[in-house]
Amino acid sequence: MIIPKPEKIEIEFTDAKLTGMAGALFIARLARRFKLPEQLSTHIQLKKRNRGCDDKDSLLGLIYNFCAGNGHLSDMDILQKDRPTVSLLGLEDVRGSRRMGEYLSRFKADSVKALYGVIVISADR
């Protein structure tokens, strides 16, 4: 039996900024198709001041992070620093883990009901 010689593999190095969360782009497109960003902007209003990361980007960042298989709030710090991914996902900003924990602590029963309403509206589309 003759074993053929394997092809030579060429490796190129780049200074381009790459991301390990490219699959999140699919989720972001799906979210836009179901108008999830608009629904979150309309129905979820936990922020008190008009600065920093808004409700929509906070929740979408969390959703995209969890969909990428990142199961801890500390993973938000990695996403926050991954500017190419943040831009590709259509987010203006992403909260770090500490701020995300503070943000999530603002959810009360009425906020959870509003979030559930967004899910139902999006699923009906």
| Rounded Cα gap, residues 2 and 60, in angstroms | 54
- Checking if the pLDDT of 122 tops 70, the result is no
What is the pLDDT, as a whole number, of residue 69? 83
1-54 pLDDT, tens digit each: 787 887 887 888 777 766 667 678 889 999 999 899 999 999 998 877 777 889
2's tokens: 């003759």
End-to-end CA, the chain: 59
Q: What is the pLDDT of residues 47-93, one digit of tens each?
A: 777 778 899 999 999 999 988 888 899 999 999 998 888 998 999 99
pLDDT at 4: 81
DSSP character string of 34-100: TTHHHHHHHH-----SSSSS-HHHHHHHHHHHHHTT--STTHHHHHHH-HHHHHHTT-S----HHHH
**Phi and psi (nearest 5°) for 33?**
-60, -35
Inter-residue contact 100 to 58 (CB < 8 Å): yes
Q: What pLDDT does 18 receive? A: 63
Pull the structure tokens for residue 124. Answer: 């009906």
SS3 content of the chain, % helix, strand, coil (to 5): 55, 0, 45
